[in-house]
Amino acid sequence: MRVQVLGLRARAGRAVAAAVLDEIARLEALCSVFLADSALERWKRAELADPGPEVAALLAGALAHQQRWNGAFNPMVGELRRLWADAEARGAPPADAACAAAARAIAAPRYRIGPTGRPEATGPVGGLEPNALAKGWIVDRAVDRVRDDLGDATLIVDASGDLRHVGPVPVTVAVEDPRRGDAAPPIAVVTVADAGVATSGAARRGFTVAGRRHSHVLDPRTGWPAAGVVAVTVVAEDAATADVLATVCGVEPPEQARLVADRAGVAWLAVSTDGTVHTNARWRDLPTPAAP
């Protein structure tokens, strides 16, 4: 996690950065699926009837994205993750029928937002993992908390793959080559301002089953790991949108992903397994840093 504040006196800048980190920590404690005592996890176990407005807002957003993107985003993907974790432990991939059955089982939403605004489970929610939205959403909320304190200053919040920028001084973003890692030159360098950036792909995490590496990005419509694309980077109006669209575009073949990105009005870059780099017009319109 990195927070930069440009254009404020040192003391004021430190206060803004501290407020950003405090808000991120507060929201993580409520919304994380990795903390057993988070409000979200306690709600999933039916220990809380009301997990609070923050969790309700996150789950409402996840539900809206599931519906908007026709299931290419699905917060119940944790059930598929368990299927593939079991396959990794056994050393044998799941059968086609098992993947198809798991995908069908999560196709319909497992919860709804009730008339009081609270989330209400309509089925088993143990596999609920809104992670592909939550990190960007939390970053955006933290930025919103300090916006009034910024004035004309610039704020950059880099949450390890999810970035949010606000302010007059743009930020240069280098996109890592997912096949070669940190030591290689970036495959693209762009300048962004008042936007969110997110990257999703198979470079850092995944499942190794019977000696074969599979992406950790799972297609909720098929139950299988995404194939053909190793990384997707999206530039959108905020970090949450970029986060979701990087995941949605990551389970589509490049030509379909380009259509999705164009429909959403975001800049999109994808790297295929053969190293081909795909972009849409919005990406090509992004400014690039001036040569030194």
Instruction: Note the pLDDT tens digit of each residue in 61-75.
Output: 999 999 999 999 999
pLDDT one-digit tens code per residue, 245-281: 999 999 999 999 999 999 999 999 999 988 899 999 9
Q: Beta-carbon neighbour count of residue 161 at 10 Å?
A: 18
Does one domain contain both 79 and 174? Answer: no
Does one domain contain both 117 and 174? Answer: no
Residue 247 located in a structural domain:
yes
Do 159 and 135 meet the contact criterion of CB atoms below 8 Å apart? yes
Q: What is the DSSP letter of 47?
A: S
Q: Is the dihedral of CA 253, 259, 262, 264 positive or negative?
A: negative
pLDDT one-digit tens code per residue, 214-257: 888 999 999 999 988 999 999 999 999 999 999 999 999 999 99
Residue 182 has pLDDT above 90, yes or no: no
For residue 180, name the pLDDT band (cuts at 50, 70, 90).
confident
Residue 194 has pLDDT above 80, yes or no: yes
Compute the distance between CA of residue 72 and CA of residue 220 in angstroms, rounded to an integer: 6
Residue 142 located in a structural domain:
no
Residue 267 located in a structural domain:
yes
Residue 141 located in a structural domain:
no
Give the number of domains in the chain: 2
Residue 130 located in a structural domain:
no
For residue 290, name the pLDDT band (cuts at 50, 70, 90).
confident
Which of 97, 103, 106, 144 lies closest to 124 in space, CA to CA? 106
Position 205 scores a pLDDT of: 76
| Domain span holding position 278 | 170-285
Residue found under tokens 């609920």: 128
Report the relative pairing of strands 229-236 and 267-272 from DSSP bridges.
Answer: antiparallel
CATH code for position 239: 3.10.520.10
pLDDT one-digit tens code per residue, 80-130: 999 999 999 999 999 999 999 999 999 999 999 999 999 999 999 999 999
Q: At what angle do helices 10-31 and 53-68 cross, to 10 degrees?
A: 70
Does one domain contain both 179 and 278? Answer: yes
Residue 204 has pLDDT above 70, yes or no: no
Residue 104 located in a structural domain:
yes
Q: What is the DSSP letter of 200?
A: E
For residue 291, name the pLDDT band (cuts at 50, 70, 90).
low
For residue 201, name the pLDDT band (cuts at 50, 70, 90).
confident
Do 243 and 201 meet the contact criterion of CB atoms below 8 Å apart? no
- pTM (2 d.p.): 0.94
CA 58 to chain centre: 13
Position 139 scores a pLDDT of: 98
Residue 139 located in a structural domain:
no
pLDDT one-digit tens code per residue, 120-176: 999 999 999 999 999 999 999 999 999 999 999 999 999 988 999 999 999 999 998
pLDDT one-digit tens code per residue, 12-66: 999 999 999 999 999 999 999 999 999 999 999 999 999 999 999 999 999 999 9
Position 80 scores a pLDDT of: 97
DSSP string, 208-261: EETTEEEES-B-TTTSSBP-SEEEEEEEESSHHHHHHHHHHHHTS-HHHHHHHH
What percent of the residues of the chain are helix, what percent strand, and what percent coil, each to the nearest 5? 40, 20, 40
Q: How many CA atoms lie within 13 A of 195 on its CB side?
A: 21
